[in-house]
Structure 1
Amino acid sequence: MDLTLLPPGIQTRLLKLGISRPFDLVLHLPSRYEDETQLYPLADAPIGTPVLVEGEVQSAETTFRPKKQFVARISDGTGTLVVRLINFYPNQVKQLAVGKRVRLYGEIRHGFWGDEMVHPKVKNVGESNGLNEALTPVYPTVAGLAQAPLTKLIAKALTSCHLSDTLPTALIHDLGLPAFADSVRFLHHPTPDVARVQLTERLHPTWRRVKFDELLAQQLSLRMARAVRRERSAPKIAPPGRLAAQLVASLPFGLTKAQNRVLLEIAKDLKQPHPMQRLLQGDVGAGKTIVAAIAACHAIEAGYQVALLAPTEILAEQHYRKLSQWLTPLGIKVVWLTGSLKAKEKRAALEDAALGTASLVCGTHAIFQSSVEFKRLGLAVVDEQHRFGVAQRLALREKGGSPHQLMMSATPIPRTLAMSFYADLDVSVIDELPPGRTPIVTKLISDARRDEITERIAAKVGEGRQVYWVCPLIEESEALQLQTAVDTHAQLSEELEGIKVGLLHGRMKPDEKAAIMQAFIANEIQLLVATTVIEVGVDVPNASLMVIEHAERMGLAQLHQLRGRVGRGAHASLCILLYSGPLGDTAKERLKVIYENTDGFVIANEDLRIRGPGELAGVRQSGVPMLRFADLEADADLLEAAREAAGQLLSQDRTIAEAHLQRWLPGREALLKV
């Protein structure tokens, strides 16, 4: 079977479905099934569930009230049924001509003219029309590719592709799973006696076999990517540690046990001859930046340069200011490099990086540009790593051969997600907050009580504290009808006389944003109205009240990040989640989670349950294949089994591992580069 022989239009549509080779058709499994194996008499056909019925067309006409539609009535001797087509074509009218015997599949419901089917699937009945022996598959498809030709292509692939097992019989037997060939054939054409819930909920043993194979392929690819990276050489960084000791001694605070533990793990990695690939996790305010600064000191003392990347200019500048404050007194030159720098400043920063006079370069995506060169890059620190894609991380590696990489994330990653999508990384967790941090109280308040909020703001400012007010949009959107940051700024400026109200959003020029943030840090602005550009990294200890407008429209991770902008000092802090009713079930569930929990890992697990892995922690940008069939929460046992099996296969029979990967992830070479 050769897909390149198909018409170009069909090939294009198949590619949109992720189908580029015949075996992809085998793995293109049905999204649902229709039961055309049982024919119901009209008198006994159940209401409200899809059924197959048959009868002769008694009448058919096009009506124009209340709007144009085609109405036919069929009978089978036991009862009658109305068929309504609101949008129809001449061939459908011909199919439902009076006297024709037809078979209909659809959901019967009570209508104005009696029991009816609206837009059923219609087939004309001939003498040899028997019933189907298996459930009818319904496949995911795209516009221009109907079910019939797609079904034919899949049927051809099932007969022409090799479906023999790629895995050892003993492994499959030990896990109690069916053969691969039996599994995919069954899932494409299941027998009608199978419990429907087992199919729709993907609980049937054949589904478990497919999910295990998918998870195993992912685990194998990650382990092989890790092995390839370990074959690369990286600088051994093992200085005496005097520079790091000087930095720690100069700090006005002490390090936590968790920070010290993580620093030992990083120092051990830096001494290795292969590149460190470590993910540093820590909840909001856990002290990841100082850990990165100490790691940077190790690299700088050993004669190497360090690059620190952040996804936004606000966060990059925050890092630049903080690191300059810590490291400049130690004789370390820190420079800032972003796309918005003036030409003269940019040339100077590029020269400092290329000549090696800058030991630490803080910046945004600008660091990835080809014009940026380092004399001796030894360590790259990537903050909020999930916001950077695979190509960007590859570009960073090429700046210095194979520098050590420390990736930081304030979005805690649930265990099953870490096992699945981050299994090729070493993970360090800062699991305690620095002493002196006050817990943040969270309140849910309807936006009908906005007046109470402004009174609370005035009281907080009167105590010398500062306030954030976060809005989700900059300009009015007819679709969402949300209060905008611009309007809110104008409204609060009018209501809160004597209080300096600032405005910050992503469309402002970089120097304007920097000036506003600096004024807020200096307490020249008491109330900062902002969009979600302040989600990460902004650190103003005097800010103790956060108001988040339309909180019901935000995700859990974002709400947790925003809430973490307060509670960074010794003052009691409050986060008010303003919501607009009525709330949907998912919005209620999210707000309940954020109200009841402050632990980022608990919130991340709930986020995984509600949203799924594809939207969480940058999995879509991770370069790791997305899971189509397995569910990390429901199939945690299969994930554990796949992890164990991957290790065994790679150590005992790499040929089997390669064959399995070729079936599931052909062309995985791009993964091995990251």
Structure 2
Amino acid sequence: MATLRDRLDHVLGVKAADSLADAFDMQTVEDLLRHYPLRYATQGQPLSEEAPEEGAHLTLVGVVTKTDLRPMKNRRGRLLKVELDAGSAKPVEITFFNGDKVSYLVKQGVRAMMSGTVHYWRPDRWNLSHPSYLILPEAGESVENLTAVRGSGDLRGLAQSAKGAEGVDVSFFEREYIPVYPATAKVQSWDVLACVRQVLDQLDPIDDPLPQDLRAERELLAVSDALRLIHLPERKSDIEQARERLRFDEALALQLVLAERRHDAAGRVAKSCPPRTGGIATEFDKRLPFELTAGQKQVIAEISDDLSAPHPMHRLLQGEVGSGKTIVALHAMLQVVDAGQQCALLAPTEVLAAQHYRSLRGMLGELGTAGELGAADNATKVVLMTGSMSTSTKKAALLDAVTGEAGIVIGTHALIQDNVEFLDLGMVIVDEQHRFGVEQRDALRAKAKDGVSPHLLVMTATPIPRTIAMTTLGDLETSTLTELPRGRSPITTRVVPARMHPKWVDRAWERIREEVGQGRQAYVVCSRIGEEEDKPKAKGRKAKPEEEKEGPTTHAARDVFETLSAGALAGLRVGLLHGRLPSDEKDAVMRAFNDGDTDVLICTTVVEVGVDVPNATVMVIVDADRFGVSQLHQLRGRVGRGKHPGLCLLITETSPMGTAMARLEAVAGTLDGFELSVLDLKQRREGDVLGSAQSGTARSLRLLSLLDDLEVITAAQDLAREIVESDPGLTRHPGLATMMRAAVDGERLEYLAKS
């Protein structure tokens, strides 16, 4: 017998366990049983009502009614055309390209299971091309173990996995739902299935971590039943009920981690920073040349209340591009400075850190020049600290921080280094929080005095749907800015299909010249830098000719700079900015653009966030299909920041009928960042957003949908907070603690926070 905590090598043997560990990092029985099927091969009749979608994966059982072995037109060999009666209105057409190898098994009259992908070769004609197949006993025959497996591909592998001492257990293929698992080249789906069946045959009863009354209230299966039915369902309702229970487990595991974080933060001590009458914050308010929006005033009040408390603030400030988050953050910093403490602002790039430094100094004026001639009496000092600064400049910044001379310290990851010390750090602000993880935030917060935690404000201009905020940032209170400050101009976005209308691209450069002719400026954004950044060939092999031709050629910033400077934009002052420039050169290029000494800035995504040049009115994004939805929204937010309307042109060579073009049209169709953030998640698919493709690990959310499961997430959040409030550390709930560790580990939650 086996328990969830047993090691797989004790249950399956060393060889199988090592394979699962190498492929999926599985160590225990529970790791294997929570490797849920991606889908199920079914023997239903899905074809009688409507045609399947292009690319859909079908598994059919039927009788071969016709075969035709014929020569291939363009290469040697013969293909086999097959018609399969699967109970639908018309026979299903199937093509095998290795006809001579298949025809001796796939013959008229045999009963077979076939599994493959739908391909349309005419608008009204589709087939399954070269599917995997398995020859089955005749319908109505008593099912007995076969001595040999007759078939190919995945289905043959599945049959081999069902082969025992007496032969192949064909009865398994009479099941209505056959699980298909995430797999690798070395560990196929049928290998996983064989291991799962072996484990389930030995599994002891499981103590359910959820109380019976909660399961009854939510009509949830027992966890032992859910884990069996998710792998070996008898009917569709089994799959739905199992997923519902296991989905709630995932939501609760995440919310327990976040609830523990909240509880831990609530127990920490912070220095109270109440507003001070007549301080620098009051003086700053008096000098503001514009009126704050109602939303900004409300959020400033919320943050002010948090800062006045004797425990650390944990707040997320989110808002549309250009909604005025910086002015809100600055007001919070000045309230902390009035209380005699320091603030640190962490930015993800040197360009953004330098932009924040110039922006805050500009807004503060003489209030931000302490120690300089002409400084106001109650001024503070603002300093910048980045990794590529000169040694003397960095030493001066370090001294200002450790002596308390600087009230506001702005920097990149350089702020997290061990040699950076503060006299009395009272608040940490993290801009573009998704670029940083919890560990990095905590490293900066640890620079406060012993026994004290600084207040924390994290900001993002990437709107976060409520379910995602609850699932990844549930330890933070949330403030949202929805209004745009007065004076912001509308932005028009247009897609430029270069393949269909090459002259429209020429017109894009003309629009830039027209805007520059009226005294304004423009950006041209490229997806890559160029030259040595180009993809290296894999070691040990040469690229095949077809590999070299794959995909459209993208335009590098360096090449576009040279082409436009000598061509369409000749005579204009054109600058080049990218992440590989030395720090001082990047700063000089950005200053020239800020000061109006550069007409057109050709750049990469280093200008994605935080760059504020009100005179810039046009942005042309080259190869726009190479950017994500949220990234495009962020980029176009760099224009329309002044009194003149903004124009964003999305140049693409992608197919006008493809999904990439649909994504660009969607971006062009709305300026609502929250709507686009949902679209972004749908476009990328949640399996990609939270799966091994991006996180680098096979562990991620498996069943919980961040878009669709608001009710589940909300219920799990309420329950988790209630449990942690009464039982911090979950000492009285060992089952929940185990479930939490099994369903979500620290690495995965760290990735979720960055997603």
Whether the TM-score (by the shorter chain) exceeds 0.5 is yes
Tell me which residue corresponds to 1:249: 286
Q: Which structure 2 segments of 5+ residues have no match? A: 1-5, 46-55, 86-90, 120-126, 138-142, 147-169, 370-374, 535-547
Give, in whole Å, the separation in 2 of the partners of 1:86 and 1:399.
67
Deviation larger for 327-336 or 530-539:
327-336
Tell me which residue corresponds to 2:60: 51
Q: Does 1:21 align with 2:28?
A: yes
Structure 1 residue 626: deviation in Å?
Answer: 4.3
Give, in whole Å, the separation in 1 of the partners of 2:320 and 2:117.
53
Tell me which residue corresponds to 1:128: 145
Structure 1 residue 261: deviation in Å?
Answer: 1.0
Tell me which residue corresponds to 2:507: 452
Give, in whole Å, the separation in 1 of the partners of 2:82 and 2:492.
64
Q: Does 1:483 align with 2:559?
A: no
Structure 1 residue 629: deviation in Å?
Answer: 0.5
Amino acid at match of 1:600: G
What's the Cα RMSD here? 4.1
Structure 1 residue 87: deviation in Å?
Answer: 13
Query: Does the C-alpha gap of structure 1 residues 97 and 630 become closer, same or farther in structure 2, counting only changes over 3 Å?
Result: closer
Structure 1 residue 420: deviation in Å?
Answer: 1.8
Tell me which residue corresponds to 2:196: 154
- How high is the TM-score relative to the length of structure 2? 0.76
Structure 1 residue 215: deviation in Å?
Answer: 1.1
Give, in whole Å, the separation in 2 of the partners of 1:608 and 1:500.
39
Amino acid at match of 1:554: F
1:155-304 superposed matches below 5 A:
155-158=197-200, 159-160=202-203, 162-191=205-234, 193-194=235-236, 204-241=240-277, 242-304=279-341
Give, in whole Å, the separation in 1 of the partners of 2:404 and 2:677.
40
1:434-473 superposed matches below 5 A:
434-447=485-498, 448=502, 449-473=504-528
Amino acid at match of 1:225: R
2:655/2:661 contact within 8 Å kept = no
Query: Does the C-alpha gap of structure 1 residues 75 and 577 become closer, same or farther in structure 2, counting only changes over 3 Å?
Result: closer
Note the alpha carbon deviations across 1:399-455, whole angstroms, 9 max, x for none. 225211110101111112112222211111112111111111222223311221222
Amino acid at match of 1:240: R
Give, in whole Å, the separation in 2 of the partners of 1:470 and 1:108.
38
Amino acid at match of 2:266: R
Q: Does 1:639 align with 2:676?
A: no
SS of alignment partner, residue 321 of structure 1: helix
Aligned partner of 1:500 among 547, 551, 573: 573
SS of alignment partner, residue 718 of structure 2: helix
Give, in whole Å, the separation in 1 of the partners of 2:691 and 2:395.
33
Note the alpha carbon deviations across 1:167-187, whole angstroms, 9 max, x for none. 222222222333322222112
Aligned partner of 1:627 among 701, 707, 713: 701
Give, in whole Å, the separation in 1 of the partners of 2:732 and 2:321.
43
- Counting aligned pairs with the same residue, the percent is 39
Give, in whole Å, the separation in 1 of the partners of 2:22 and 2:582.
40
Deviation larger for 264-273 or 5-14:
5-14
2:552/2:653 contact within 8 Å kept = no
Deviation larger for 219-228 or 649-658:
649-658
Aligned partner of 1:527 among 591, 600, 625: 600
Tell me which residue corresponds to 1:43: none
Aligned partner of 1:142 among 180, 184, 188: 184
Give, in whole Å, the separation in 1 of the partners of 2:629 and 2:326.
23
Aligned partner of 1:118 among 99, 114, 130: 130
Amino acid at match of 1:290: I
Give, in whole Å, the separation in 1 of the partners of 2:19 and 2:638.
47
Tell me which residue corresponds to 2:481: 430
1:417/1:613 contact within 8 Å kept = no
Give, in whole Å, the separation in 1 of the partners of 2:400 and 2:117.
74
SS of alignment partner, residue 495 of structure 1: coil
Amino acid at match of 2:469: A
Give, in whole Å, the separation in 2 of the partners of 1:73 and 1:593.
42
Aligned partner of 1:393 among 432, 438, 441: 441
Note the alpha carbon deviations across 1:24-76, whole angstroms, 9 max, x for none. 211111112234799xxxxxxxx994335799xx9x9xx9x945899999999
1:649/1:656 contact within 8 Å kept = no
Deviation larger for 633-642 or 365-374:
633-642
Deviation larger for 490-499 or 565-574:
490-499
Amino acid at match of 1:511: D
Give, in whole Å, the separation in 2 of the partners of 1:116 and 1:381.
55
Aligned length: 648
Query: Does the C-alpha gap of structure 1 residues 342 and 305 become closer, same or farther in structure 2, counting only changes over 3 Å?
Result: same
Amino acid at match of 1:209: R
Query: Does the C-alpha gap of structure 1 residues 649 and 157 become closer, same or farther in structure 2, counting only changes over 3 Å?
Result: farther
Amino acid at match of 1:274: H
Structure 1 residue 108: deviation in Å?
Answer: 11
SS of alignment partner, residue 577 of structure 1: strand
Query: Does the C-alpha gap of structure 1 residues 148 and 609 become closer, same or farther in structure 2, counting only changes over 3 Å?
Result: closer
Tell me which residue corresponds to 1:44: none
Aligned partner of 2:679 among 606, 622, 628: 606
Amino acid at match of 2:171: L
Q: Does 1:376 align with 2:385?
A: no
Give, in whole Å, the separation in 1 of the partners of 2:732 and 2:284.
51
SS of alignment partner, residue 144 of structure 1: coil
Q: Which structure 1 segments of 5+ residues have no match? A: 39-46
Structure 1 residue 560: deviation in Å?
Answer: 0.8
Amino acid at match of 2:509: T
2:80/2:99 contact within 8 Å kept = no
Structure 1 residue 2: deviation in Å?
Answer: 2.0
Give, in whole Å, the separation in 1 of the partners of 2:455 and 2:653.
47
Query: Does the C-alpha gap of structure 1 residues 276 and 51 become closer, same or farther in structure 2, counting only changes over 3 Å?
Result: same
Amino acid at match of 2:260: M
Query: Does the C-alpha gap of structure 1 residues 249 and 117 become closer, same or farther in structure 2, counting only changes over 3 Å?
Result: closer
2:496/2:650 contact within 8 Å kept = yes
Q: Does 1:334 align with 2:376?
A: no
- How high is the TM-score relative to the length of structure 1? 0.85
Query: Does the C-alpha gap of structure 1 residues 432 and 102 become closer, same or farther in structure 2, counting only changes over 3 Å?
Result: closer
SS of alignment partner, residue 665 of structure 1: helix
Give, in whole Å, the separation in 2 of the partners of 1:608 and 1:419.
15
SS of alignment partner, residue 429 of structure 2: strand
